[in-house]
Amino acid sequence: MFDRDSESDSWGTRKPIAVILMWGLGICFLVQSLANFYAHLPIEPALALSNAGLKEGKLWTLFTYQFLHGGPWPWHLIGNCLGLYFIGLHFEELYGARRFLWTYFGGAGLGAVVQVLVTALPSHNDSLVLGASAGVMSLLAAYATAFPERQITTFIYFIPVTLKASWLLWFFGGLAAFGSLFPFDTLAHGAHLGGILFGIFYVKAGSLSEFGGKTVSDSIERWMAGFRRGTKSRNNNPVIPVQFPRKPQATGKAQSDTDFIAREVDPILEKIAKHGIESLTSAERTTLETARQRVAQR
């Protein structure tokens, strides 16, 4: 119902990508720790991001930096995994694995670029950058942009805090922007800022993000609007109807489905256009799912 990539993308048949990613980050941290303590082979200079490393030709660090975390204690890793758990899991549940991966790795990529640019500013130290924070920030920014009024639980110094998504975005965005201009600590604020910018852009620029609308919630509206032939979106722009296989002649069941959509689904779509997808009740979501199944069986 929330634009999953396919029926096989159901959580009933696979583990969420967010969980797999958390396990992968944990394994990478274990290998990193073993290499440092037992093999006496620090791998951070080879895989972590820095301007000096890029000048030496280590272009792969633009990608590999996100799989390393600061040690020896795993607090850095745990913090990012908590972000994946509280935000990434819900984001993937709503929009599927493909868009989760685009948002996460796109944020990590832009975060690396912004961090490199910020480090080139005067009075900025070129220290090694590592961690998955840019990807996590991208997920937070995308979710908060789509659902600014939703409540999100985060941890500040391991104290659970629940705030509106928009408030969290303003807080982390402001902190990242300030830290990028005035490096008051050792955090990679440029990477955080890049991740946040990508998450916002990915939702806002619907044609580029493949969400198909100005926001994620708009994309759901536009997807469901395919049930209404030739209707218009909330911005009065034509909506391209979803094409379903048609039989040569209309049957009684097809006519019944059309009546059902006009009677039950259209009012719900109007509610989405006015108040957003988050305003729907569980009964209305069930009605949309029923409509989707009936049309898919034509």
Same domain (yes/no): 280, 229: yes
Over range 40-49, report the average pLDDT.
91
d(CA 190, CA 48): 15
At residue 55, the pLDDT reads 94
Q: Is the backbone peptide bond immediately before 238 cis, with ω within 30 degrees of 0?
A: no
Bridge partner residues of 155 (DSSP):
160
The residue type of 59 is: L
- Average pLDDT of every residue of the chain: 79
pLDDT in tens, 2-30: 333 433 344 555 789 999 999 999 999 99
Which of the listed ranges 14-18, 211-215, 232-236, 238-242 does the model predict with the highest average pLDDT?
A: 14-18
Q: What is the pLDDT of residue 234?
A: 42
Q: What is the pLDDT of residue 240?
A: 36
212 pLDDT tier (thresholds 50, 70, 90): very low
Average pLDDT over residues 35-49: 90
Residue 2 lies in a domain: no
Residues 21 and 132 occupy one common structural domain: yes
CA-to-CA distance for 188 and 173, rounded, in angstroms? 13
Whether residues 198 and 246 share a domain: the answer is no
Task: Answer whether residue 236 is part of any domain.
Answer: yes
- Determine the average pLDDT of the residues in 207-216: 43
Virtual CA dihedral for 290, 294, 296, 298, nearest 10 degrees?
180
- Find the largest Cα–Cα distance for the chain: 74
Q: Are residues 98 and 234 in the same domain?
A: no
Cα separation of the two ends of the chain: 17
Q: Residue 210 — pLDDT band, cuts 50, 70, 90?
A: very low
Question: pTM for the full model?
Answer: 0.67
- Which CATH number fits the domain that encloses residue 78? 1.20.1540.10
How confident is the model at residue 19, as a pLDDT?
Answer: 95
Residues 99-147: tens digit of each pLDDT:
999 999 999 999 999 999 999 998 898 999 999 999 999 999 999 998 8
Domain count, the chain: 2
What pLDDT score does 129 carry?
A: 95
User: Do the Cβ atoms of 131 and 80 come closer than 8 Å?
Assistant: yes
pLDDT in tens, 139-172: 999 999 988 888 877 766 667 778 888 998 999 9
pLDDT (average), residues 226-240: 44
Taking the C-alpha atoms of residue 211 and residue 203, their distance in angstroms, rounded to an integer, is 7
Same domain for 175 and 283: no
Same domain, 143 and 258: no
Residue ranges of alpha helices (H) inside the chain are: 17-37, 44-47, 51-55, 61-64, 75-83, 89-119, 133-146, 165-181, 189-204, 206-209, 216-224, 252-260, 266-275, 282-296
Provide the domain limits for residue 86.
7-209
Please identify, among 160, 184, 209, the residue that sits at the C-terminal boundary of a domain.
209
Would residue 1 count as lying in a domain? no
Read off the pLDDT of each residue in 232-241 and give the average, rounded to a whole number: 42
- Do residue 93 and residue 50 come from a single domain? yes
Inside any domain, residue 286? yes
- Exposure class string for 61-75: b at 16+ Cβ within 10 A, else e: bbebbbbbbbbeeee
For residues 188 and 265, membership in a common domain is answered with no
**Could you tell me if 121 and 183 lie in one domain?**
yes
Q: Are residues 114 and 183 in the same domain?
A: yes
Same domain flag for 266 and 183 = no
Q: Which residues pair with 164 in a beta bridge?
A: 151
